[in-house]
Structure 1
Amino acid sequence: MPLSDFHLRASIAVSEIGRAIDFYEGKLGLPPLHSGPSAAIPDGSRVYGSGGGPALNVYQSHTAGKSPATLATWYVDDIDQVVDELAAAGVERVRYDEFEHDTKGITARAGGGRIAWFQDPDGNTFALEADI
């Protein structure tokens, strides 16, 4: 069976699950669907829903924040509105020197559309993308 037959979910390592819960639930508004252990850490992981189903595993690990790459992207209809709502919740945008950003931190996306980035407390990077 090809892997394309199966649902895919992003997994994000965090250094402290309590702080991650405050960010992912409190600031991003993601609903927790499940919680469980992470290695030897009781209650050290969460599965969050997005887009109508499970979308993001967050687990406590010493590998948190080690990747400089974008780990997951939300494809949104109104990037300005989502950026404004995240800013109001205290989420800071990431700006990259090689791109020209507007006042909200949004830049043109390669191939058309717009993109903005933000990070969780461990420095894990996420993106918001919109076709217009």
Structure 2
Amino acid sequence: MRWWFMPLSAYHLRTSIAVSGIARAVEFYEGRLGLQPLWSGPSATIPEGGRVYGSGGGPALNVYQSATAGATRATLATWYVDDLDGIVDELSAAGVEFARYDGLEHDARGITPRAGGGRIAWFQDPDGNTFAVEADS
């Protein structure tokens, strides 16, 4: 197939996360995860209903208030980290609870071996949106 436009791989990708209430989301994303907002403003007709958070040196998460919040159980975004144990410990100390899934082996903190090597731990925001932190070792 021949493309007449520049392929999407040439552009930065930002994930969008629907939340049921922006105030509760701000408490979680900023207060517990320690993300810094790069922008805040309206989301559709909701004044101050959206935030863009930076991660890894650029915009990464678009969090916006929507009736579709928490509609998927799939992992929506993964942070690739060097020190998974340290990150899990810091997030746990901030009140983040790590998920445990039937059929997977987890250590005491909720970290599980990743398929193909490495390790991974999942957590959810207050709306049930699932995220992961992952490391190759």
With the shorter chain as reference, the TM-score category is: over 0.9
In 1, the alpha carbon distance for the partners of 2:40 and 2:124 equals 22
Q: CA RMSD in A?
A: 0.4
Name the SS of the counterpart of 2:82 in structure 1.
coil
After TM superposition, the runs of 4+ consecutive aligned structure 1 residues lying more than 4 A away are none
**Pairing 1:92–2:97 present:** yes
Q: TM (normalized to structure 2)?
A: 0.95
SS in 2 for 1:4: helix
Deviation at 1:98, TM superposition (A): 1.5
- The equivalent of 2:51 in structure 1 is 46
1:42: how far off?
Answer: 0.7
- How many aligned positions are there? 132
Q: Which residue of 2 aligns with 1:20?
A: 25
SS in 1 for 2:12: coil
1:74 counterpart (69, 75, 79):
79
- Residue aligning to 1:30: 35
Q: What is the distance in 1 between the residues matched to 2:100 and 2:43?
A: 32
Aligned residue type for 1:98: G
Structure 1, unmatched stretches of 5+, are: none
Match for residue 16 of structure 2 among 8, 11, 16? 11
Determine the C-alpha separation between the residues in 2 that align with 1:102 and 1:7.
Answer: 34
What letter corresponds to residue 34 of structure 1 in structure 2? W
Relative to the length of structure 1, the TM-score reads 0.99
2:113 match: 108
Give the Cα–Cα distance (whole angstroms) in 1 for the partners of residues 21 and 115 of structure 2: 34
The higher radius of gyration belongs to 2
